[in-house]
């Protein structure tokens, strides 16, 4: 089965510090990878996807096929970045559906 692993359940940093949320995926061809975010009392929403190579809210994520990783990074964390972050990959067909999610990492940015 294809997997997405987020090794950290909780990541706590101070405002202005760099942040990196880790994501590893099981290898299978050319994956389509995403980061979703869920702010407190809000719905799950797409933050960014690797294919667009864009920066959203200062976050970037680079696909490293050699390490099968797709870590989310931001050079200077802000308090409003505090949220649950889920890494996900698109899966073609099979019983796992369109999106396979990791278990999520809760980011807490302290003032």
Partner 1 sequence: DAGVTQSPTHLIKTRGQQVTLRCSPKSGHDTVSWYQQALGQGPQFIFQYYEEEERQRGNFPDRFSGHQFPNYSSELNVNALLLGDSALYLCASSLLRSYEQYFGPGTRLTVT
Of the listed pieces 15-23, 64-72, 75-83, 94-102, which binds partner 1 according to CB under 8 A? 94-102
Contact 60, 76 (CB under 8 A): no
Tell whether residue 104 is a contact of partner 1 (CB under 8 A): yes
The whole-angstrom separation of Cα 94 and Cα 111 is: 44
The whole-angstrom separation of Cα 36 and Cα 44 is: 7
Contact 75, 12 (CB under 8 A): no
Q: Which is nearer to partner 1, 19 or 37 (CB)?
A: 37
Tell whether residue 29 is a contact of partner 1 (CB under 8 A): no
Tell whether residue 40 is a contact of partner 1 (CB under 8 A): no
Question: C-beta of 89: minimal distance to partner 1 in Å?
Answer: 10
The whole-angstrom separation of Cα 60 and Cα 58 is: 7
Q: Which is nearer to partner 1, 39 or 76 (CB)?
A: 39
Q: Given candidates 57, 80, 96, 110, which one binds partner 1 under the rule CB under 8 A? A: 96
């Amino acid at each position: 089965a294809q997997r997405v692993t987020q090794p950290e359940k909780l990541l706590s940093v101070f405002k202005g510090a760099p942040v990196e949320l880790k994501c590893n995926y099981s290898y299978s061809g050319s994956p389509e990878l995403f980061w979703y975010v869920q702010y407190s009392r809000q719905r799950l929403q797409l933050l960014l996807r690797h294919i667009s190579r864009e920066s959203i809210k200062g976050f970037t994520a680079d696909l490293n096929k050699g390490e099968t990783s797709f870590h989310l990074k931001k050079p200077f964390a802000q308090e409003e970045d505090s949220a649950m972050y889920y890494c996900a990959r698109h899966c073609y067909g099979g019983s796992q559906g369109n999106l396979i999610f990791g278990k999520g990492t809760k980011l807490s940015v302290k003032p």
